[in-house]
């Protein structure tokens, strides 16, 4: 399949931004879409390009990035498959839209953060910069990550988030660092969501990644 076929076959939106600015790969949470999550982009970097695909998995009519058996119970085999598919889409989109060597920064929320993390941990040659908002360890009790030297991840979580438990977040950070990634962890009061504090930290992380 050609790059054009891969890109055109995946629902998404794209805005080129300034040619010397990074591209934000915005990844939505469960039940959201590419339009809603991409609305964060101007506040993170108004000059950036935006590549915003839609999750292809359906759960009770809601778009997601991978299957799960219940809240926090991920189908790890599907995570592995879907991360590979997203890496393929990103590679094709870089060619199709002529992005060249522009930095690509994934900004994901919740389920979108989890697929961004999984993709970076499995395919760091495709995605090496992640800002994970309310994300958690995406591989249950399995060790799937490859060598992550050169990868930079910013995690932003609420300490009392029942959907992204702090134990899973701490395990994520530990594994990332053990595999060689540079990690900046930010914890705030509260639970699942995106706070003003989170957005300020994310804005700084995007600026450093670019």
> What residue ranges do the domains of the chain occupy?
3-209
Note whether 150 and 128 are within 8 A (CB): yes
d(CA 89, CA 112): 15
Predicted local confidence at residue 210, as pLDDT: 60
Is it true that domain 3-209 has CATH number 3.30.930.10?
no
Single out the residue of 134, 166, 120, 178 nearest to residue 40, CA to CA: 134
Task: Count CB-CB contacts under 10 A for residue 165.
Answer: 15
122 three-class SS: helix
Predicted local confidence at residue 20, as pLDDT: 94
pLDDT tens by residue, the chain, 210 residues: 799 999 999 999 999 999 999 999 999 999 999 999 999 999 999 999 999 999 999 999 999 999 988 777 899 999 999 999 999 999 999 999 999 999 999 999 999 999 999 999 999 999 999 999 999 999 999 999 999 999 999 999 999 999 999 999 999 999 999 999 999 999 999 999 999 999 999 999 999 986
Residues labelled as active-site residues: 110, 161, 192
In angstroms, how far is the first alpha carbon of the chain from the final one? Answer: 30
Predicted local confidence at residue 69, as pLDDT: 83
Name the pairing type of β-strands 129-133 and 152-158. parallel
pTM of the model: 0.97
Predicted local confidence at residue 209, as pLDDT: 81
Predicted local confidence at residue 5, as pLDDT: 94
Single out the residue of 166, 165, 167, 153 nearest to residue 202, CA to CA: 153
d(CA 76, CA 81): 9
């Amino acid at each position: 399949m050609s790059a054009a076929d891969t890109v055109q076959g995946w629902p998404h939106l794209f805005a080129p931004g300034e040619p010397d600015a990074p591209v934000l790969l915005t990844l939505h949470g469960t039940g959201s879409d590419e339009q809603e999550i991409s609305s964060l982009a101007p506040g993170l970097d108004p000059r950036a390009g935006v590549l915003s695909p839609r999750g292809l998995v359906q759960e009770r009519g809601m778009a997601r990035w991978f299957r799960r058996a219940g809240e926090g119970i991920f189908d790890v085999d599907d995570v592995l498959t879907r991360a590979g598919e997203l890496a393929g889409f990103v590679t094709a989109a870089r060619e199709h839209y002529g992005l060249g060597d522009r930095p690509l920064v994934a900004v994901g929320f919740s389920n979108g953060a989890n697929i961004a993390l999984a993709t970076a941990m499995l395919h760091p040659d495709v995605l090496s910069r992640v800002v994970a908002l309310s994300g958690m360890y995406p591989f249950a009790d399995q060790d799937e990550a490859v060598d992550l030297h050169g990868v930079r991840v910013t995690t932003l979580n609420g300490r009392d988030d029942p959907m992204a438990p702090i134990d899973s977040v701490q395990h994520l950070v530990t594994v990332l660092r053990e595999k060689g990634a540079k990690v900046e962890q930010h914890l705030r009061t509260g639970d699942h969501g995106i706070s003003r504090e989170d957005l300020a930290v994310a804005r700084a992380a995007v600026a450093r990644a670019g």
